[in-house]
Chain A
Amino acid sequence: MILFEQIAAALYLAAGLGALLGLAMPEPRILRGARVGLALGAVAQLLALATLHRLDPAPRLTDLDLAVAFTAWVGVLLFLALSMRYRLPGFVPPLAFVAFLAAFGTTLRPPRPRMGGEGRLLEVAGASGSLPHAHVLLASAGLAALGIAGLAGLFFLLEHRALKRRRSLRRRIPLPSLEALDRVNRVALALGFSLLTVGVVTGALWLESQSGRFWSGTHHEIWTAIAWGLYLGLVVLRFGGRQGPRQAAASAVAGFVFLLFAVLGVGMLS
């Protein structure tokens, strides 16, 4: 597993550096190569995730490192799917470096069953079974999709600013078109919000199966609920036609930053 994660990390790093070089030159062949590197990294990471089940006992996906690695992997897959339709070369460096850090982090702290003082597995209450896995997988995938929406939003704002300042043609780095970025934003927002919603529902079901309640009022639940409500508002505004592309892009960036804080930041702080 560690070997595959190491290979994935190396491929992601190479893809990120290659994409930076390809954008700076700019050289389409290098950019294509970087995208292939990213895809190979995703394959290596798939093998790493697949081998998790071969460990006995299998480590839990509820581990933060594993969940982050999985999120990055889904993000890469989503990007690869979108880049078959849209020209998104500028996405490769940030995505590849995030994926590299996620995969590299897993290699530093490999997931293994935690041992108690008497050599027995230290069981985390209710962390095994299908509901916790469904919650983590769906919520992580939603986070990844909303991350792509945020990235598209960020690029949209940069491109919009460059066009408004009439500097778009003077720089050498080819950014995707505003139209492509807006469409990617819409698709990723719709997909991410759907996955996040199902992730939140499965989380509530998991809690109910353990404690008989759907809500226990922890910081994680409160902040996640606020983030979900925020995204609900964004989706209504976006698909209800009450938000222009630039506002939607800014919302996607702000929404993702808030979601990161709600899902990861609050957990780390508390």
Chain B
Amino acid sequence: MKVMLLGMSHRTAPVEVRERFAVSQAGPVLRKLIDRPEIEEAVLLSTCNRVEVVVTTPNPDAAQHVLLDFFLRELADERVPRDLSLSRVTYVRQGRDAIEHVFRVASAIDSMVLGEPQILGQVKDAYREASEVGACGAVLSRLFQRAFATAKRVKNETGVAQRPVSVARIAVDLARQIFETLDDKAALMIGAGDMIEAALAALGDQGLGTRRVVNRTAAHAEALAIRFGGTAHGLDELDAVLADSDVVLSCVGGETPILDRERVERSLARRRGRPLFLIDIGVPRNVDPAVHEIDSAFLYDLDDLQEVAASNEQERRRESDRAERIVSEEYQRFDGWLVALQAVPTIRHLKHRAETIRRAEIERFTGRLGLDESQVEGVEHLTRSIVNKLMHAPISRLRDETDREAGLARLEEARALFALDDLDAPGAHLDGDLEATLTDALDRADASEGAQEPDRAEASGGIDEARETGRVTDDERREGS
């Protein structure tokens, strides 16, 4: 079983390609995907910047073909060009690369805007949707839980998400350098174009109490004011509303500045020294740069904000090295769990073999010794106790090894030492009834063992989790028998 993913993102495909593969409902297509024998579990993440399918598969080569086919048949809409070479706009990751990629995506290290907060919610939604349709089993459940934990660590332990990089967030952060709180402050938007609309949307939850929109065309101002909850004004009211506003965002057309120094000074005189924060994102500029020379006026234009954005982006990139270390640490933890998971079939096989031998020997000697019922019960108890005690140490060693190389080597050793792959070894064959009885007994023993040791190390917790899902248990049974 291997984790792998196939996807396309802003790094490999332009938006006009990505949008052709975006899906709004992942559930139905995921059901079709996990019906394929090459795919055991699957999660589909579809955002405006990426479309990715994460799967577990016993056969990565076959799964890759299945996933390419899945992209073309189930995800692509009818507008996808016939000559599109999917392999040129997609990427495939396997094993460690795939696992770390999922951690990076959830932590927004792989995002177009490094550290952006939306992606984690989108990954959680994708995971939830896959779980709801039963496409997410033990391994991907564990993988995504670790991805969420990784994202939390990256957010808390690094500065990747701390410094704002969008113009609206930078403007809000700047406003907070000037004003103690934004709740009782009034925002004035000059213009009603796309930039103002985007800024109003971005400022939506930032607590600016009053919003006013001033525009040459009153109807446009009114439409925005209604949509974002504010009041609309004509340009003739600009002086009046300017004096009552604390944050001004301007983006209108025109060759000459709409706010010159005299106009701002007049309004500041009516504000009794209260500061005024102006953001000019118009090109050409809407606010005379000389306004910044006034003591209580702070003017930032698009270049200033973009310079800050670039500087913050650079700072985030520096922090991403620390984030990568966290991703690597979390991979090690997840891999330890995977190694422990791989020990499950061997452990069950070992227990099965021991129990088979024990039962066969009891069968052989019970009749010969002429034991009564209570004596048989005593012998049962005695032999089971001996077997359990003998098996305890090797099973613990197999279960608790979390280093991949050492774990796999130990599994090999155990299989060789106990001749688990030798079909002629004692206890390798059973009749059907005894097989069923043994499987039930082992399940009961495992269940009671789990109940007795609820806070076992994480690795064995993973094994318990795997058993609960049934998928791994089926594998174990196949291999065990």
Interface pick from A90-98, A178-186, A187-195: A178-186
B11 interface residue per 8 A CB criterion:
no
Contact between chains at A245 and B174 (CB < 8 Å): no
0 or 1 for each of B159-197: is its CB under 8 Å from A? (1 = yes): 000011000001001101111100000000000000000
A115 interface residue per 8 A CB criterion:
no
Which residue from A87, A166, A179, A241 sits with its C-beta under 8 Å from B178? A179
Contact between chains at B308 and A169 (CB < 8 Å): yes
Smallest Cβ-Cβ distance to B175: which chain A residue:
A177
Contact between chains at B275 and A179 (CB < 8 Å): yes
Find chain A residues with CB under 8 A from B179 CB: 177-179
CB proximity to B under 8 Å, residues A174-219: 175-180, 183
Q: A241-B272, A244-B273 are in contact. Are A169 and B312 (CB under 8 A)?
A: yes
B70 interface residue per 8 A CB criterion:
no
Q: What is the CA–CA distance of A178 and B307 in the complex, to the nearest angstrom?
A: 22
Contact between chains at A169 and B296 (CB < 8 Å): no
Contact between chains at A86 and B308 (CB < 8 Å): no
Q: A180-B180, A246-B295 are in contact. Are A168 and B174 (CB under 8 A)?
A: yes
A54 interface residue per 8 A CB criterion:
no
B311 interface residue per 8 A CB criterion:
yes
A109 interface residue per 8 A CB criterion:
no
B300 interface residue per 8 A CB criterion:
yes
B304 interface residue per 8 A CB criterion:
yes
Smallest Cβ-Cβ distance to A177: which chain B residue:
B180
A159 interface residue per 8 A CB criterion:
yes
Smallest Cβ-Cβ distance to A242: which chain B residue:
B273
Which residue from A168, A176, A177, A245 sits with its C-beta under 8 Å from B273? A245
Find chain A residues with CB under 8 A from B317 CB: none
Contact between chains at B308 and A159 (CB < 8 Å): no
B298 interface residue per 8 A CB criterion:
yes
Q: What is the CA–CA distance of A245 and B178 in the complex, to the nearest angstrom?
A: 12
Question: Taking the nearest CB of chain B, how far is it from the CB of A24, in angstroms?
Answer: 13
Number of inter-chain CB pairs below 8 Å = 56
Find chain B residues with CB under 8 A from A87 CB: 180
Question: Taking the nearest CB of chain A, how far is it from the CB of B279, in angstroms?
Answer: 12
* Residue picked from B176, B178, B179, B311, most chain A C-beta under 10 Å: B178
A164 interface residue per 8 A CB criterion:
yes
B31 interface residue per 8 A CB criterion:
no
Smallest Cβ-Cβ distance to B296: which chain A residue:
A244
* Residue picked from A159, A177, A183, most chain B C-beta under 10 Å: A177
Question: Taking the nearest CB of chain A, how far is it from the CB of B163, in angstroms?
Answer: 8
* Residue picked from A168, A169, A179, A246, most chain B C-beta under 10 Å: A169
Question: Taking the nearest CB of chain A, how far is it from the CB of B422, in angstroms?
Answer: 59
Contact between chains at A164 and B298 (CB < 8 Å): yes
0 or 1 for each of A97-128: is its CB under 8 Å from B? (1 = yes): 00000000000000000000000000000000
Question: Taking the nearest CB of chain A, how far is it from the CB of B179, in angstroms?
Answer: 5
B2 interface residue per 8 A CB criterion:
no
CB proximity to A under 8 Å, residues B271-296: 272-273, 275, 292, 295-296
Contact between chains at B273 and A164 (CB < 8 Å): no
Find chain A residues with CB under 8 A from B163 CB: 169
Question: Taking the nearest CB of chain B, how far is it from the CB of A113, in angstroms?
Answer: 48
Contact between chains at B177 and A170 (CB < 8 Å): no
Smallest Cβ-Cβ distance to A160: which chain B residue:
B295
Q: What is the CA–CA distance of A187 and B311 in the complex, to the nearest angstrom?
A: 37
Find chain A residues with CB under 8 A from B272 CB: 241
In addition to A169-B177, A169-B311, A246-B295, 6 A-B residue pairs with Cβ atoms within 8 Å of each other are: A166-B308, A169-B173, A169-B174, A178-B275, A183-B180, A244-B296
**Could you list which residues of chain A lie within 8 angstroms of chain B, going by C-beta atoms?**
86-87, 159-160, 163-164, 166, 168-170, 175-180, 183, 241, 243-246
A-B contact pairs, 18 of them (CB 8 A): A86-B180, A159-B177, A163-B174, A164-B292, A166-B300, A166-B308, A169-B163, A169-B164, A169-B170, A169-B308, A169-B311, A175-B177, A176-B180, A178-B275, A180-B180, A241-B272, A245-B275, A246-B296
